[in-house]
Amino acid sequence: MKLIFEKSRKGRGCDVLPPCDVPIAELPLSLGRKKPARLPELDENEISRHYSALAKRAFGVNDGFYPLGSCTMKYNPKLNEEAAGLPGFRDVHPLQPEHTVQGCLKVLDIAAESLREITGMDAMNFQPAAGAHGEFTGLLLIKAWHKSRSDTARTKIIIPDSAHGTNPASAAMAGFQVLNIASGPDGCVDLAALKAAVGSDTAGLMLTNPNTVGIFDPNILEITGIVHEAGGLNYYDGANLNAIMGIVRPGDMGFDVIHLNLHKSFSTPHGGGGPGSGAVGCKKLLAPFLPLAGCDLEGGAAASPQSIGRVRAFGGNFLVVVKAAAYLLTLGKENIPEVARNAVLNANYMMEKLRAKYPVPYDGPCMHEFVISLEKLKETFGVSALDLAKGLQDKGMHPPTIYFPLIVHEALMVEPTETESRETLDTAVEAFMTLYDQAKADPESLHAAPVNTVIGRPDDVKAARQPVLRYSADIDR
């Protein structure tokens, strides 16, 4: 497909701008461009076709089932997009005087209050723009707390080997040393390993519960207790909150600080480079260190002198919070647990059906996602997790996450999400089952998959390491 720059023809266009409703300011010549901007010039018809063609080459939740474990691409109500598009939210400027944005601040307040209640935290802050950014911020809070007590020997963050990759990365970025501990045979935290790891150098523990194999750790109170007793704090990676919201609270599990992925659990799609919100919540002891929010509701609390400062401009990605608030208000307190119940029900339904052919390394019921292993299939028939994922694309669905978590060989991590119907799950199960038989009968055909997609098997490493994101040809026509 040609790039929009390649379709451009000098002099074409459809730029009918609305009349200017602000005073026109002339820029000094020294600030002007030497050459016109390199913008593609096309008529409206061509532009419309170009973007339609691009949309057809992508796959999103509006196209089909998207069980991307850990990255939760679920259907989100379009109504919430409309709420975020209301001019009173969309058109505000962060430097407007506070008395003109009281409605927006009220929305932040409503969202914060609901999320505080759902998580069991005392304070909530929306400045971080992504989950990993929330982790980094939360870890800086832990660091600031230890420092405020002159306990500077606490330099280590303990992280289980099942953790999401962003956890150790964020800890290292926040200046901590990462101490990895192995999971037990049940996929949960190995208590003996944790007890051996904690000490006077422990700054804290980072944990997601349910963990990345989809299991809720039954020893959670003992785990957080061990860390507290050693003088550390507990960080909860709340990216998987859709599994537990309204049912149990991280604050009651002994966690001191958490981040939430509003762009997973609360009505904004995850991924795709769009705006996110890694809201950070914490208990009272850490609240004085929270980032400066930018502005407050009239009569709101003044910024704390102990704040770690800003981690992003102003109040964060405000419109993501608007969607979260709309979602929370639509559900209401009584229906929030229903989200978690459906997430868990859908995952268990699918896991139990797949168990008939696919090994599930960790026994027992799962939470919102589960992991299957293709290790045996690969050993016997040479069909890998990647081959199966490619085969699933040919069946019209987005593949699950593959090769994660690292503690499961040839892993496929499936998260059906709370928003899928039983019929969709049944169709997906059928696709998995057919592919299993195909893998045994004709493994070669899966090595050649996918055959129905625009791109077959790109060089993943090259795409990640050397992405070509800019048109570089000379277009000074």
Ligand X SMILES: Cc1ncc(COP(=O)(O)O)c(C=O)c1O
What does DSSP assign to residue 68? Answer: B
The closest of 458, 405, 427 to 65, measured between CA atoms, is: 427
In the complex, the smallest distance separating the C-beta of residue 164 from ligand X, rounded to whole angstroms, is 4
If 0-12 CB within 10 Å is exposed, 13-18 middle and 19+ buried, where does residue 222 land? middle
The three-state secondary structure class of 373 is: strand
In the complex, the smallest distance separating the C-beta of residue 269 from ligand X, rounded to whole angstroms, is 11
- According to CB under 6 A, which one of 73, 239, 241, 340 is a site residue for ligand X? 239
Q: Which stretch binds ligand X (CB under 6 A): 15-23, 91-99, 124-132, 280-288?
A: 124-132
Q: Which stretch binds ligand X (CB under 6 A): 107-115, 218-226, 236-244, 282-290?
A: 236-244
Residue nearer to ligand X on the CB measure, 18 or 273: 273
373 contacts ligand X (rule: CB under 6 A)? no
Burial 48-63 (b: 16+ CB within 10 A, else e): eebeeeeeeeebebee
Report the phi/psi class of residue 150: left, alpha or beta, with left for phi > 0 and alpha for psi in -120 to 50.
Answer: left
125 contacts ligand X (rule: CB under 6 A)? no
119 contacts ligand X (rule: CB under 6 A)? no
In the complex, the smallest distance separating the C-beta of residue 53 from ligand X, rounded to whole angstroms, is 28
- According to CB under 6 A, which one of 164, 283, 323, 378 is a site residue for ligand X? 164
The letter for the amino acid at 309 is G
Q: Which stretch binds ligand X (CB under 6 A): 2-10, 101-109, 126-134, 438-446?
A: 126-134
In the complex, the smallest distance separating the C-beta of residue 409 from ligand X, rounded to whole angstroms, is 20
74 contacts ligand X (rule: CB under 6 A)? no
Q: How many whole angstroms separate alpha carbon 36 and alpha carbon 229?
A: 64
71 contacts ligand X (rule: CB under 6 A)? yes
317 contacts ligand X (rule: CB under 6 A)? no
Residue with the two structure tokens 């002891």: 285
Strands 177-181 and 401-402: unpaired
Structure tokens at 368: 């919102």
Q: How many whole angstroms separate alpha carbon 206 and alpha carbon 193?
A: 15
In the complex, the smallest distance separating the C-beta of residue 6 from ligand X, rounded to whole angstroms, is 33
In 208-255, beta strands by DSSP E: 233-238
The letter for the amino acid at 445 is S
Q: Which stretch binds ligand X (CB under 6 A): 57-65, 237-245, 307-315, 389-397?
A: 237-245
114 contacts ligand X (rule: CB under 6 A)? no
Q: Which of residues 438-467 bind ligand X (CB under 6 A)?
A: none
Q: Which of residues 263-292 bind ligand X (CB under 6 A)?
A: 270, 276, 278
The closest of 353, 352, 362 to 215, measured between CA atoms, is: 362
Count of residues interacting with ligand X (CB under 6 A):
15
Task: Indicate the residue whose CB is closest to ligand X.
Answer: 131
End-to-end distance of the chain based on CA atoms, in angstroms? 21
- Report CA 457 to chain centroid distance, whole Å: 25
Binding stretches for ligand X (CB under 6 A): 70-71, 130-132, 164, 166, 208, 237, 239-240, 261, 270, 276, 278
